[in-house]
Structure 1
Amino acid sequence: MDDGSARAPGDRRGKQDRSGAGDPVRTLELLWRVPANPSPSRGPKQRSSIDAVVDAAIAIADAAGIGALTMRAVATELGLTPMATYTYVPGKAELLDLMVDKVYGQMDRADLTDLPWRDRVGTIAAANRALLARHPWLAYLPTTRPPLGPGLTAKYDHELGAFDGLGLDDVTMDAALTFVLGFVTSVARIGIDAERAAADSAMSDHQWWERAAPLLAQLFDAERFPLAARVGQAAGQAYDSTVSADHAYEFGLARVLDGLARLIGER
């Protein structure tokens, strides 16, 4: 699975803003909702729940990015004290794993049965692209130590089905899925970065280039850089920008599928 190690512009992440940064045993207990203390205990009735804490954290990250996510911010969202929030989740490291697993668990799982394999792979690629559009922070969160909870497990099992029955061994199936998801994440970042650039500058790409064009025309020597001049102009006219996330996705996915077709044919 792609590790998502790149950072979004202006993303101020701490050293623990990645998956698997917390205590692995406690994280797994939280992911699978294993009680830390199975024996009943007396005390005041809890005002919230792990799910409520996770939902509040996802809402904050969706609206303002991972940089805005703190345990204090979650507590404020839920009307709790920061110390009370720690009774549900021990820290931000574990909270991030719970967030990732929750959004994975909520993904659409379209029926892949009887679809041609290219359609199966295209379907899981589209589902992941939609997920990253809904939760942009996820595209930049390193997941080299993925949260092995029910959400990720269901996602992984479902997506492997796109490659089942094609003659690939198990390791190659895992690698093929990683290849597809890595491509989707890379292209998703293009779209996210373009949207953030437009928001930060209060200008569309078209407006930005219109402003830069007069000076650029004086500085850029088309005779010195003939390929850049010709190809850049053609692409700019096609996209009305320097890049199109939609075109990059459609073009790239076709190449990914072509590469997999050759691999599958060899097997």
Structure 2
Amino acid sequence: MRRLGVAAVLSGMLLVACAAPADEPTPEPTVQPTAVRSGSASPSEAEPPPGLEPAAVEESFTCLTELPASQWLVDEEAGIAGALAGSGETLVILSRQVNGDLCSWAFFAEQLTDAGYQVGLPSYRSGDPIALQLGLAATAREQGVEDVLLVGASMGGTYALGAAAVMDPAPAGVVALSPPSEFDPPGPAPVVDAVAAADELAAPLLVLVGAEDAAFVGPAESIGAAAGVDPVVLEADEHGIALVREHDDVRQQVVDFIADPR
């Protein structure tokens, strides 16, 4: 069933695009709103479900060495891979936007693991992005996780909604930051339709978008309408991950929703 939300508009935030840290890509939206088309790895003793298997962490993802109990999981046949880190009864899967990699969420993953959550970091390079999230969730459940939340930025917000609509059991909540209405993954995976997924959603949903990120306000409103919630339109011009990284009050709103999704 759909959960009804409360209209919210945050004010008092500077309309300033802050520069990204040197080790992260500049968080500019590079997709259209209706785009078509640590420690080192230490796999848990729990047996992953068929598909994702433990592997040596890829050297390019240096952020994983800074996260506790990191695991690199791969399904070579399906062409999907991702990481789990931390421990706890709740898994938060953090899906990145198109201009970055899984380490774009490292700052938030560190905060969440410090707070007692397990985090999932999908690597969206090929394969089915929905199957990857479902695989990470299934692996974490095999290791003792009880609840799963999906958080995604831009492309990742659309992917999060797509996975949430078919995840069984349903996730405890979904956060979509600046999501396009649909996104066409590379390779043979089908287009992910965020509006259709929101219409099928059986979990609380938080949609956030900057008022000055004009191309994504309409999609956020369409997604919210399909789910029966009002998007939070922020006085900001940042896009996706930058909303959380640059604004403490937005980050706190996401943290509060993760702790008590409703």
Range class of TM-score, shorter chain = under 0.3
| Structure with bigger gyration radius | 1
User: Between Structure 1 and Structure 2, which shows a larger proportion of helix residues?
Assistant: 1
TM-score (norm 2): 0.26
